[in-house]
Amino acid sequence: MDNYEREIIKSTLRATGGNCQQAAEELGIHRSALYKKMARLNIHRRKENVYE
């Protein structure tokens, strides 16, 4: 389940150009919840809005 959630979040972040507020809105969650999920799933911002 974590792998699926991780890929969905990364894909949404890429689609929004790294805009966390917009990504959170598209995912239907609050921005702070997105940050918590990113930390839990070890999603880090790399240069040029690429998330790994």
Q: Is 30 left (phi over 0), alpha (psi -120 to 50) or beta?
A: beta
Model pLDDT, residue 45: 77
DSSP assignment of 1-52: -HHHHHHHHHHHHHHTTT-HHHHHHHHTS-HHHHHHHHHHTT--EEGGGEE-
Model pLDDT, residue 21: 96
11-50 residue pLDDT tens:
999 999 999 999 999 999 999 999 999 999 999 877 555 5
